[in-house]
Amino acid sequence: MPDRSAAVARVLFRVLLLNLIVAGAKLGFGYATGSVSIVSDGFHSLTDSGSNVMGLVGMRASRKPPDEDHPYGHRKFETLAAAGIFVFLLLVVIEVIETAIGRLRSGETPEVSLYSFLVMIGTLGVNVGVVKYESRQGRALGSELLLADAAHTRSDVLTSCAVIVSLAAVGLGFPALDAVGAIVVAIFIARTGYQIWLETSGILADRVVLSEEDISRVVMSVPQVLGCHHIRTRGSYDHTFLDLHVWFPGDMPLHEAHRVSHVVKDKLLESFPQIADAIIHIEPPPGSRS
């Protein structure tokens, strides 16, 4: 666990540095040229940096081992950090829409040059690299925080493409499309935020993680097991808690039922490495008189 947390933190720190460079380039050039779509995309990139910082704080908290007050550990702090990305996205959506509406009312025309396209294409390339790197590391480390942050950055790729299109339209004599491009950015941001919220809220609300059928299939593969029910899972897909009731013959000695229950647990942990702990309740089958 400490090694994994440290690895996730290293990825976040590297991505933070890249996001700061991208955000600074977009905001600086956007304000210099008066392009609201570039500025909006810069704010979008800036929230990437903010979410990276929040992720680092969350990872530091999640490294703590279980204690008396948190017997299940502190892993949900990582999920809370991922959920915090949604808050950043919501604030950016509001800022972008307000800025775009103000530009439509004022009718100002931004300055569009070759450098505008060079800045956007260059930062777009950086974002594509970040998405690939962070997604790969998120899958390798089993981190919902890295995967959520990669999804956030992936929306940057799409919004940057929209900004490039709007800049081309402005260059062709349609200045209002700069503000329209900013609104498209807001739509992409809102969509990404909604997806992240669905995922993280499911973890925080103890949504089912593993299917009962898959769990039952593994349990029933153990000889002497008569059945199982009340299967419950919660947590994240890479850190899951399981409890279930397993039926044994009513006349089976307790020590033997206990031994077989450990066989069941070992098979479950082998089949589902993401299970952090499994609690098995031993009981006779329904209707048993023993």
Tens-digit pLDDT profile for residues 230-252? 999 998 776 789 999 999 998 89
% residues pLDDT > 70 (the chain)? 94
User: Given a cut of 60, is residue 271 above it in pLDDT?
Assistant: yes
**Which of 91, 98, 110 minimizes the C-alpha distance to 31?**
110
Looking at residue 179, its pLDDT comes to 79
Give residue 282's pLDDT band: very low, low, confident or very high (50, 70, 90).
very high
Residue with tokens 């777009």: 124
The two beta strands, 239-247 and 227-236, are: antiparallel
* Angle between helix 114-141 and helix 36-62 axes, rounded to 10 deg: 20
Looking at residue 230, its pLDDT comes to 93
% residues pLDDT > 90 (the chain)? 24
Q: What is the CATH number of domain 2-204?
A: 1.20.1510.10
In this structure, what token pair is assigned to residue 36?
């609201």
Domain ranges of the chain: 2-204, 212-283
Question: What's the pTM?
Answer: 0.62
Instruction: Fill in the amino acid letter for 11.
Output: V
Looking at residue 63, its pLDDT comes to 67
At the top level of CATH, which class does the domain 212-283 belong to?
alpha beta
Looking at residue 84, its pLDDT comes to 75
How confident is the prediction for the chain on average, in pLDDT?
A: 83
